Chains A and B, each alone.
Chain A
């Protein structure tokens, strides 16, 4: 068997002088959600790799920011940068995530990021 040939420079060519994820700006299409939208985290398959935390599945939160455009972690983890998505910052009430969370701290929140594929309107 011969050795596979990897292009070791394709990402460097794309990001040089621009930075990552800035080099993917404008490739994510029209964002499906806007700041203030109420969203639910989808519980779709995540075999082999994801960065969508399991504790957030099915929980509802509010979009606070459209953070950047980037290939989703599930693709980029195999160096596939063909499909770029919007990333969103979403804030949850801690009580929404943890049923036993103390009412004494009822206003506590947790904010974290998801790529667009993990969100649906709530």
Chain B
């Protein structure tokens, strides 16, 4: 592709980011603002996307990174040790974290976050212990 075409597409992409969006205030709406259709939409499982209109996404040929493989093994070990079964893992990874995190985080990012969450939920570690450990590990990289 020529330099000009590069510039044209970069321009079109950039302008696209500037399109005005109309935001509606939706924080804690009054009950009469939520009809059955909206209730169903808000409470639907974020992973049940079959049939929803969307734009194509770019498919990248990519190997898993080491942390992603480690995350997979970690989650399998949690199952092997009886902390969760596969369906509970899916519920937590795909549904419980909500639409924003489901769409906003990488696939294995959701797995990792969920692994930490179940250890806290079932009191294998306390949230205090988890946060102290995160702080301790962070210090190693300072």
Query: Which residues of A line the B interface, CB within 8 A?
Result: 3-4, 6-12, 46-50, 53-55, 73, 76-79, 97-98
Contacts and interface: CB of A to CB of B under 8 A. Distances in A.
Nearest to A7: B82
B6 to A, nearest CB: 35
Interface of B: 43-45, 48, 50-51, 80-85, 87-88, 90-91, 95, 122-123
Given A47-B43, A49-B91, A98-B51, 18 more contacts: A4-B122, A7-B82, A8-B82, A10-B82, A11-B82, A12-B82, A46-B45, A50-B45, A50-B48, A53-B50, A54-B44, A76-B87, A76-B88, A77-B91, A78-B91, A79-B84, A79-B85, A79-B88
A11 B95 CA distance: 23
Given A12-B82, A49-B95, A53-B50, A6 B87 contact: no
A73 B87 contact: yes
The 8 closest A-B pairs by CB, nearest first: A8-B82, A55-B51, A77-B91, A76-B87, A55-B50, A77-B87, A3-B123, A49-B91
